[in-house]
Amino acid sequence: MTKKLKVATIGGGSSYTPELIEGFIKRYDEFPLTELWLVDIEAGKEKLEIVGNLAKRMIKKAGLDIRVELSLDREEALKEADFVTTQFRVGLLEARKKDERIPLKYDVIGQETNGPGGLFKGLRTIPVILDITRDMERLCPDAWLINFTNPAGMVTEAVLRYSNIEKVVGLCNVPIGIEMGVSKLLDVDHSRIRIDFAGLNHMVYGLNVFLDGENVTEHVVEKLTDPKQTSFVKNIEGIGYDPSFIRALGVLTCPYHNYYYKHRDMLEKQQKEADEQGTRAEVVSKLEKELFELYKDDTLDIKPPQLEERGGAYYSDAAVRLITSIYNDKRDIQPVNTRNNGAIASIPDDSAVEISSVITKDGPKPIAIGDLPVAVRGLVQQIKSFERLSAEAAVTGDVDLAVLALSINPLTPSDTVAREIVDEMMEAHKDHLPQFFNK
């Protein structure tokens, strides 16, 4: 008799789900999944059915015996699950539109996971993820929680700090996107590249780059001084850094660093794009409509290539690679969000960091790097403080803490601007922030 292996995906109606399905199909020999439960809320029912039926067609085409269940009942889905993946958006894309539009009125970056947008996505998301962890304690206490929901670092921080769940890993496709970008830059297969990552989610640095075991960091950094090399990730198009800055920094940045190192340029770019073509959320909204029209096609039984434009490139590789490695105790090295445990000297041991880790059946074992280079250390610490205060505000419903968190974020010009933005965004997201209003 086949051993049951069950995965429950919260936010199963996401446009990213075909990426996950493709990953499970590719790695079925290593991870013989028997049950996949795709779960969503009533507002996402139609999308869940559309994407769920595509998932069934993809699995049928692959000739695999995986039972796919579509459900609005989270408790039923979680019962005896081995892995729980989370990929949901509280307030849907409408909330993201507000996160991006409102800050721009105050000449502040409007972005999904950074600055005010990151704060408010965290405030909406953290209470829900903690609810899920409480359900997991009752229904699948031995399951691993693999979180893809943004802001992934802040969410992982909250689970580590405010839940009883120890088996949690946060994941992002940015590091694997950087690896793929470097392999293209060097014109070599991705398998030959290894990068030592350290920092925080969307604030991660590639400290060392290895090709076939040889350190080629200086060579890669020199190649990156070409102003045409602006970004490795499709949904954030950078501006291009000054060659002197890149050479002196001596490490790889991630695309989200553009918002900090090219702050004024990125703000002007965002404001121009918002006026001419809409914010990123508004662009994604159109992309999603097109994707779901494609998904409805009964003859479609593969992940459509258009999905990469959505910003989820390599998501299936990162997600199922991690799950497979935990399941098989592979002890390979992957960049994940996990408890620091002394790996980065200047970050508290109990905080979440994004770092290259050895992946075991007992979870990630972060690889100690000593400390971050002095040029990047302060910014990482500042963002970690922002994440910590944001998570505390989300749990306590303390508006003053939310104002403080935003005030210390380097994308915010002053405490008074922080207060104005918080007031407006609290009102805009009132329906999804009960902890602040139901006191």
Residue numbers in the known binding site are 96, 150, 172, 202
Spatial CB neighbours of 332, under 8 Å, sequence gap ≥ 6: 325, 358, 359
**What's the rounded Cα separation, in Å, for the pair 118 and 229?**
26
- Most distant CA atoms of the chain, gap in Å: 64
**What's the rounded Cα separation, in Å, for the pair 334 and 307?**
24
**What's the rounded Cα separation, in Å, for the pair 425 and 439?**
18
Binding residues for Mn(2+), as ranges, are 172, 202
Binding residues for substrate, as ranges, are 96, 150
* Cβ atoms of 405 and 394 closer than 8 Å: no
Q: Which residues sit opposite 359 in a β-bridge?
A: 364
**What's the rounded Cα separation, in Å, for the pair 300 and 294?**
8
Question: So which residues are the catalytic ones?
Answer: 256
Helix axes 17-26, 315-328, angle to 10 degrees: 50
| Alpha carbons within 13 A on the beta-carbon side of 120 | 32
* Cis bond before residue 151 (omega within 30° of 0): yes
